[in-house]
């Protein structure tokens, strides 16, 4: 299967801890997106990369959040000093153009 993969699929952490998620996009896609989805809501855009360059960030992305895409391949999303409000599904998508291909998501629970 050559789809978008995310790791881990589930993460439980205590408030105040740091967490890091990984996304491996479809190899030929140069665009990569991170979203957050909470129950009963659609995905909310967090940030976007074209190759290794982070071109856009949502105002939702507080300074506790940081994302990287070294060498334009996989990407990581780190949340520092997690808060209970960070509990959500974090989705990654890659794209060759207008259509986005989503990964299965990482479900974060902050206790």
Partner 1 sequence: AQSVTQLDSQVPVFEEAPVELRCNYSSSVSVYLFWYVQYPNQGLQLLLKYLSGSTLVESINGFEAEFNKSQTSFHLRKPSVHISDTAEYFCAVSVAPAGGSYIPTFGRGTSLIVHP
Point out which residues bind partner 1 (CB under 8 A). Answer: 3-4, 31, 33, 40-45, 48, 50, 55-56, 91, 93, 95, 97-105
Q: Which is nearer to partner 1, 33 or 65 (CB)?
A: 33
Q: How far apart are CA 79 and CA 15, in angstroms?
A: 11
Nearest to 45 by CA among 102, 3, 107: 102
CB of 95 to partner 1, least distance (A): 7
Q: Which is nearer to partner 1, 17 or 41 (CB)?
A: 41
Nearest to 109 by CA among 91, 72, 83, 71: 83
Q: Which is nearer to partner 1, 25 or 82 (CB)?
A: 25
CB of 89 to partner 1, least distance (A): 10
CB of 74 to partner 1, least distance (A): 17
Q: Which is nearer to partner 1, 70 or 97 (CB)?
A: 97
Q: How far apart are CA 27 and CA 14, in angstroms?
A: 34
CB of 33 to partner 1, least distance (A): 7
Q: How far apart are CA 79 and CA 102, in angstroms?
A: 20
Nearest to 29 by CA among 102, 100, 94, 103: 94
């Amino acid at each position: 299967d050559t789809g978008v993969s995310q790791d881990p699929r589930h993460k439980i952490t205590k408030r105040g801890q740091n967490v890091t998620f990984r996304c491996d996009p479809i190899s030929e896609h140069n665009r990569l997106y991170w979203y957050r989805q909470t129950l009963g809501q659609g995905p909310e855009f967090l940030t976007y990369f074209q190759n290794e360059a982070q071109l856009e960030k949502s105002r939702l992305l507080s300074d506790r959040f940081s994302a990287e895409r070294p060498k334009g391949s996989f990407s990581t999303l780190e949340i520092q000093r997690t808060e209970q409000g960070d509990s959500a599904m974090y989705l990654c998508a890659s794209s060759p153009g207008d259509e986005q291909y989503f990964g299965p998501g990482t479900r974060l629970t902050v206790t």
